[in-house]
Amino acid sequence: MELPNGLQFSLRGKVAAVTGGVAGSVSPLLRRSLAQVPMSPLLNVSNKNAHEVAKQICDAISAIVSDFGSLDIMVANAGIAASGKTEDFDPEEFKRVHEVNVNGVLYTMQAAANSIITMSSAVAHVVTRPQLPAAYCSSKAAASMLTRCVATEWANQGVRVNANCQAT
């Protein structure tokens, strides 16, 4: 269905960046929208130190702004999953999943853009069968709530923050 002129959604002239090493996890709708953006850099930071990750994100965003003149849309797509039953789950692995899936979203939000899209999941809101690991589900629920809180907090500054909750 075509929207009347002036009401069509367009990202032409915008600069977007996507965090994460696997852009394939971006939903098809978001991928089609971002296809309108001629230069959509992918940020992939790989470091276990939280402060270093935050610095890498800031540095990458500064480079994008320097190269392209602006950063209009930031997609916080980085995330990891882990397998195993809750009773057998290693506490360090649980912590790592939350560090990437929740703290990584926070660091990305703090560093970037007028429009922020976080990649969440339906499992943030419902328990699935077969059930996915609790570490992953709880991290996505935390990231979704973080997104809602930041959206409310930053709305009066003109910053849009939304979650894309696709089926996982």
Residue 1 has pLDDT above 70, yes or no: no
List the catalytic residue out of 14, 136, 146, 165.
Answer: 136
pLDDT at residue 98 is higher than 70: yes
11 belongs to a structural domain: no
Q: Note whether residue 8 is domain-resident.
A: no
How confident is the model over 139-146, as a mean pLDDT?
Answer: 94
CATH code of the domain covering residue 93? 3.40.50.720
In percent, the amount of the chain with pLDDT more than 70 equals 74
DSSP one-letter code for 143:
H
- Tell me the average pLDDT across 99-119: 86
d(CA 80, CA 99): 10
Per-residue confidence (pLDDT) for residue 39, from 0 to 100:
46
Confidence of residue 143 (pLDDT cuts 50, 70, 90): very high
Q: Let me know if residue 1 belongs to a domain.
A: no
pLDDT digits (tens, 9 = 90+) for 9-56: 667 778 888 887 554 555 555 566 666 554 445 566 555 666 777 788
Q: How many domains is the chain built from?
A: 1
| Model pLDDT, residue 156 | 94
Q: Residue 7: inside a domain, yes or no?
A: no
Segment 99-128 shows an average pLDDT of 85
Residue 5 in domain = no
More reliable by pLDDT, 62 or 51: 62
Cα–Cα dist 23/153, whole Å: 28
- Expressed as residue numbers, the domain containing 133 is 16-166
Q: How much is the mean pLDDT over the chain?
A: 79
CA 58, CA 63: separation in Å to the nearest integer? 9
The answer to whether residue 136 is catalytic is: yes
CA distance 77 to 3: 29
pLDDT for residue 59: 84
Q: Which of 8-12, 20-24, 96-100, 141-145 has the lowest mean pLDDT?
A: 20-24
